[in-house]
Amino acid sequence: FFERKVHGENSWGFRLGRQAICYGDNRIFGPGDWGNTGRYTWDGLKVRKRVRRRNFDFLVAKRILYDPKYFDDEHYDFTTYACYAQCGVNNEAKDLFWIYKSDDNELSGERRHTLGLHRKIKQNSWDLSSTFAFQFGDHGADTVRAYGLHVGAKFKLVSTKGSTLALDYAMASGDSSPSDGKTETFDGVFGAVDKYYGRMNVVSWMNIEDWQFTVTTKPSKKLHLSASTHWFHLNQEKDSWYFRTGKPVAHDPSGLSGNYVGREIDLILKWAINSELELLAGRCHFSPGTFSKNMGIDGGADWTFIQFICRF
């Protein structure tokens, strides 16, 4: 890639070529480099203008289509245009964004706008965050009208060093009537795959309601532990349960199978062994809910991972 970095106030910069695109809490644009699927790497142009400690970015890019057998020079058949403004003062951050996704297929393709706001406030022992996004446009012959949101609060326990309690709620609209000529299923934009909606990535930010409770603690400077529980429900019972890639896992068009997808528990350990070596390990379990069982998914799922990072 070619890059000119921003230096000082009222300056501008750009990056042209291969790049990751990340903003805010990575819920709208994130690196997505945790799993084999859902990774986001782009070929494109990002132009940045800095004015009074505010960054204004303008982007046009195409997402890389990964193929393990060939060099990664192919792209998905859509182009993304975006404007992203970051405004931060002291312990407050406010991001405004517009994203346009245009498919090359004129008949069955998609032309979807995402317009939204991300806000984060730090006050004393509290961290508050929220994101709202509204989508409109066309998907084939249907019009698009969808929305997604997230609200979260994290509290730092003063009596216990390094411990926090957090409660989050994320929702993405589903299609209440798939045959009415209107698409109401929210598209999960390009958020990070490893940070939200469970480490197992059994759901995506599409037709979902996710209640999350998280406890973290640091017994020492080098050791970090976290435990989180997710409760997943469909937003609309006649719409699908979508996997992390956006593909439907199960669908009951009658809407009679309920909306409780299931519960996921994630236990994560992070240990900085020394300045060069770091260990990340986790144990996760998914328990199917009423909807999953009615769709023939009776057994639970377990996932364990161990990862070492060596810096040299």
pLDDT tens profile 181-215: 899 999 999 988 778 899 998 999 999 999 999 99
Give the residue-averaged pLDDT of 284-297.
94
What percent of the chain lies above the pLDDT cut of 90?
67
Residue 286 — very low, low, confident or very high, per pLDDT cuts 50/70/90?
Answer: very high
What single-letter amino acid sits at 297? I
Residue reference for tokens 């998609």: 110
Residue 91 — very low, low, confident or very high, per pLDDT cuts 50/70/90?
Answer: confident
Give the residue-averaged pLDDT of 129-156.
94
Nearest to 94 by CA among 132, 146, 126: 132
- The residue that leads in pLDDT, 7 or 306, is 306
What percent of the chain lies above the pLDDT cut of 70?
96
Which of 99-113, 200-214, 222-236, 290-304 is least confident? Answer: 99-113
pLDDT for 106-138, tens place per residue? Answer: 666 789 999 999 999 998 889 999 999 999 999
pLDDT for the residue numbered 107 = 61
Question: What are residue 16's DSSP bridge partners?
Answer: 2, 45
pLDDT for 236-255, tens place per residue? Answer: 999 999 988 888 999 999 99
pLDDT for the residue numbered 37 = 55
* Angstrom distance (rounded) from CA 228 to CA 293: 23
Stated pTM of the model = 0.91
* Angstrom distance (rounded) from CA 30 to CA 85: 16
pLDDT for the residue numbered 14 = 95
Name the token pair of 11: 């300056």
* Angstrom distance (rounded) from CA 17 to CA 72: 13
pLDDT for the residue numbered 166 = 96
pLDDT for 22-57, tens place per residue? Answer: 998 899 998 866 665 556 889 999 999 998 888 999
pLDDT for the residue numbered 158 = 77
Judge whether 292 and 261 are in contact, CB under 8 Å.
Answer: yes
Q: What is the pLDDT of the chain when averaged over all its residues?
A: 90
pLDDT for the residue numbered 154 = 94
Give the single-character DSSP code of 64.
B
